[in-house]
Amino acid sequence: MSTNADLLLKLQGLDYQLVELERSKEYLPDMITTLQGEIKAAKAAVDEARDQLEATRLEHKRLELRVREKNVELERLKNQMALIKTNKEYDALSREIDHVRSEITAAEDGILAAMETIDNLGKEIEAKSDAFGEVQKRNGAQLKNIKGEMDSVGDKIKIKQGDRVNVLVRLDAPLVAIYERVRKGKGSGAVVAVRNRACSGCFKTLPPQLVQEIRRAEKIITCDSCGRILIWDEEGSG
């Protein structure tokens, strides 16, 4: 590979790296937001389950209190049985006693359901807490790396820009002008190698004579189809 071709490839590599570094200024903050969001969501899942557990425990206590109150009321109604004098009073009191008993049964069923829910929520909180710990550890490490990378982006850009200047001063101005013009139109793929006697940018087959000219590397040759700068690479050209 000729010196010019080697320098052009190096220049293209630096330009690609600079583009990626500039892009990182946009996507790295987005990555941070995503990772922080995952941590927040995992913690919210634990908090929600804990809130449900607390609410269920309060409901359990409320139902226990209701059972005690209704049992007191039931004893009072039973004691009234000894004082009634008519069948009508007996029937009315019996209905009231049955109603209180049904309320006690419903409350006791609610207590059993609450106990089961409390047990399940305890297991759920344990699992979600473990998941939160894993997310916090994994994402925390990634956040540290990303934030460190963000802090170093500016320095990396300056270094790459310095390397780019060092390459540019070793290339003739007309050659740089061609490169910049093609890069502006084609982006990162301004310089491409000949692959199987074709332009690896647009895949157009090249005339044998042109292939030989590219191989001799006596001048810069561009693809008449896509405009990219063509170079010879002994490892991949043929």
Q: Which residues pair with 229 in a beta bridge?
A: 191, 222
The tens digit of pLDDT for each residue in 131-172 reads: 999 999 999 999 999 999 888 888 999 999 999 999 999 998
Is 118 within 8 Å of 50 (Cβ atoms)? no
* CA pseudo-torsion sign 20, 26, 32, 34: negative
Residues 99, 73 contacting (CB under 8 angstroms): no
Length of the chain (residues): 238
Q: For residues 71 and 19, which has the higher predicted lDDT (pLDDT)? A: 71
**Number of alpha carbons in the 13 Å side-chain half-sphere of residue 28:** 18
CATH 3.40.50.1820 fits 18-168, yes or no: no
- Give the pLDDT confidence score for residue 104 in this predicted structure: 97
pLDDT at 1 (0 to 100): 45
79-91 confidence digits (pLDDT tens):
999 888 899 999 9
CA pair distance 119, 109, nearest whole angstrom: 16
Give 17-59 pLDDT, tens digit per residue: 998 888 888 889 999 999 999 999 999 999 999 999 999 999 9
| Residue 111, pLDDT score | 98
Average pLDDT over all residues of the chain:
92
For 116, 166, 184, the CA distances from 169, given in Å and listed in that order, are 77, 6, 20
pLDDT value of residue 184: 87
pLDDT tens by residue, 170-228: 998 988 998 998 888 877 689 999 988 999 989 999 999 999 999 888 888 999 988 89
Q: Give the residue extent of every domain in the chain.
A: 18-168, 173-231
Copy the structure tokens of residue 210: 């042109």
- For 170-196, b where at least 16 C-beta lie within 10 A, e where not — what string? ebeeebbebbeebbeebeebbbbbbee
Smallest Cα–Cα separation from 163: which of 64, 16, 1, 61? 16
